[in-house]
């Protein structure tokens, strides 16, 4: 097989400067990206090369070359290119290194880095329903954002919690994932799959049954406490709770927060004002009966979906939400919170924040570092410290819209 010549604009060892990038071909292979500079012309591809054996590789930019052109050490270049420069390398030096790397067309070789560090810088995100639930997509986005900022790649799989889950975990292991995020829906107590016991793991929107695995979840108590207090401050005097009849952390915490807020306000807790329901026709009947029996003027709802029952019952009775009846939901679910009229005042669940914190926590475990030098983003809900107790709790934000009357 003959040598495939480089493009006419390629830089050769005689000092010509690069000015572009083009694909090149080896007979019988697909095209591969040609780097912007080719300082090591004439290296022959081995049998393990992605190029066909016998092809001449015109070279790749190395950290050593970046160091030479920038006037710094190779270790400094390594810190910058691996996103570990914050607090270790002066900002102007890091900027100069990145600009030189960009100009020379430097690309990190993940396979080489993996062999050198025994790390692929891949995180696995395993979810039960999360990946297929539109309003919780923020959790994946948050994890992706943190992973990218820390120099990692995130691979996401959605499972059914059974055999498929085991298969997906094995697939991620074959990719060489350094650690795993394990996510549930609706903040549930869970057991980490046995196949993950030998890996760093962080739970997202879930709590380890044994309280050992790091996890992050919404502060369920404060969600209800803040929502109920908001209704009290709006002048409501008979505040009902439309809860969830399923056993879960969220229901337990929100009922406790609702009860505490009422007791601290001096109103006292009345179990007749509580209706724990599922999302079905029976739920609408239960809320309707509570309307007629107790005549509440305020409702705190377990989620935005259950707030719809309150809107429907109010409409059937000629009552106006935001005037005669006040309602606060939980989720900030676009389908409900933004389409109901008036728009629903709601506590936004911190999906982005949970994903972001969980990925950052996982990296801190993998690299055994505190992340003290990490630039945390501004988020709707404040992020807990990376060393927060298990489970880490995020204090959620109440978004005022139009469903709470002011008396």
Q: What is the CATH number of domain 220-349?
A: 3.40.50.2300
Q: What own/partner pairs with CB < 8 Å and gap ≥ 24 does 167-172 have?
A: 168/126, 169/124, 169/126, 169/193, 169/195, 169/196, 170/195, 172/124, 172/126
Q: Which position has the higher pLDDT, 191 or 233? A: 233
pLDDT digits (tens, 9 = 90+) for 128-170: 766 566 666 889 999 999 999 999 999 988 876 566 888 888 8
pLDDT digits (tens, 9 = 90+) for 261-300: 999 999 999 999 999 998 778 999 999 999 999 999 999 9
**Residue 130: what pLDDT?**
64
Give the torsion through C-alpha atoms of 337, 247, 183, 401, to 10 deg: 20
Q: Is the pLDDT of residue 5 over 50?
A: no
What residue ranges do the domains of the chain occupy? 23-115, 122-219+352-395, 220-349
**Averaged pLDDT, 72-79:** 86
CA-CA distance, 29 to 35, in Å (whole number)? 17
- Distance (Å) of CA 277 to CA 247, 283, 301: 11, 5, 11
Q: Which position has the higher pLDDT, 373 or 11? A: 373
**Residue 310: what pLDDT?**
97
CB neighbourhood size of 130 (10 A):
23
pLDDT digits (tens, 9 = 90+) for 166-219: 888 888 888 889 999 999 877 888 888 888 988 999 999 988 988 899 999 999
CA-CA distance, 324 to 313, in Å (whole number)? 12
Q: Nearest 5 degrees, angle CA 146-CA 152-CA 154?
A: 80
Bridge partner residues of 321 (DSSP): 325
Q: What percent of the chain has pLDDT above 70? A: 79
**Residue 127: what pLDDT?**
85
Q: What is the CATH number of domain 23-115?
A: 1.10.260.40
Task: Specify whether the backbone of 152 is left (phi greater than 0), alpha (psi in -120 to 50) or beta.
Answer: beta
**Residue 24: what pLDDT?**
34
End-to-end CA distance of the chain: 85
CA-CA distance, 340 to 338, in Å (whole number)? 6
Do 180 and 196 form a contact (C-beta atoms < 8 A)?
yes
Asked if the domains at 23-115 and 220-349 fall in one CATH topology, the answer is no
Do 302 and 308 form a contact (C-beta atoms < 8 A)?
no
Q: Going by CATH, does the domain composed of 122-219+352-395 fall within 3.40.50.2300?
A: yes
Place 33 in a pLDDT band, splitting at 50, 70 and 90: very low
pLDDT digits (tens, 9 = 90+) for 332-367: 988 888 889 999 999 999 999 999 999 999 999 999
What single string gives the DSSP state of each residue in 5-74? PPPTT---TTSPPP----EE--TTS--EEPPS--TTTTEEP-TTSSSPTTPEE-----HHHHHHHHTS-H
Out of 61-75, 113-127, 133-147, 219-233, pick the least confident. Answer: 113-127
**Residue 118: what pLDDT?**
61
**Residue 116: what pLDDT?**
47
**Residue 188: what pLDDT?**
82
**Residue 337: what pLDDT?**
82
- Phi, psi (rounded to 5 degrees) for 159: -125, 175
């Amino acid at each position: 097989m003959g040598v495939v010549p480089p493009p006419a604009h390629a830089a050769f060892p005689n000092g010509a400067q690069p000015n572009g990038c083009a694909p090149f071909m080896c007979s019988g292979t697909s095209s591969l990206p040609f780097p912007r500079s080719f300082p090591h012309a004439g290296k022959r591809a081995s049998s393990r090369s992605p190029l066909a054996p016998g092809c001449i590789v015109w070279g790749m930019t190395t950290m050593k070359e970046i160091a030479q052109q920038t006037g710094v050490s190779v270790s400094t270049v390594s810190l910058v290119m691996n996103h570990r420069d914050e607090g270790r390398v002066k900002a102007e030096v890091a900027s100069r290194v990145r600009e030189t790397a960009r100009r020379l067309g430097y690309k990190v070789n993940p396979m080489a880095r993996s062999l050198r560090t025994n790390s692929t810088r891949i995180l696995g995100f395993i979810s039960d329903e999360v990946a297929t639930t539109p309003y919780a997509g923020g959790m994946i986005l948050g994890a992706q954002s943190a992973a990218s900022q820390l120099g990692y790649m995130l691979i996401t799989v959605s499972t059914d919690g059974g055999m498929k889950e085991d298969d997906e975990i094995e697939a991620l292991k074959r990719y060489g994932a350094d650690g795993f995020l394990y996510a549930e829906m609706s903040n549930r107590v869970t057991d980490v799959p046995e196949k993950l016991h030998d890996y760093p793991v962080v739970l997202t929107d879930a709590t380890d049954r044994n309280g050992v695995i790091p996890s992050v979840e919404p502060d369920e108590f404060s969600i209800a406490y803040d929502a109920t207090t908001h209704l009290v401050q709006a002048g409501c005097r008979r505040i009902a709770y439309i809860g969830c009849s399923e056993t879960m952390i969220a229901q337990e915490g929100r009922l406790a927060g609702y009860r505490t807020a009422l007791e601290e306000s001096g109103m006292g807790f009345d179990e007749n004002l509580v209706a724990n329901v599922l999302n079905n026709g029976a739920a609408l009947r239960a809320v309707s009966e509570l309307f007629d029996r107790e005549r509440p003027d305020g409702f705190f709802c377990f989620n935005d979906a259950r707030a719809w029952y309150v809107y429907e019952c109010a409409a059937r009775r000629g009552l106006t939400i935001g005037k005669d009846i006040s309602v606060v939901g939980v989720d900030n679910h676009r389908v409900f919170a933004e389409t109901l009229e008036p728009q629903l005042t709601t506590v936004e669940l911190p999906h982005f924040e949970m994903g972001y914190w969980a990925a950052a926590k996982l990296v801190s475990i993998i690299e055994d570092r505190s992340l003290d030098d990490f630039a945390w983003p501004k988020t709707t809900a404040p992020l807990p410290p990376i060393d927060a107790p298990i489970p880490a709790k995020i204090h959620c934000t109440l978004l005022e819209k139009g469903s709470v009357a002011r008396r």
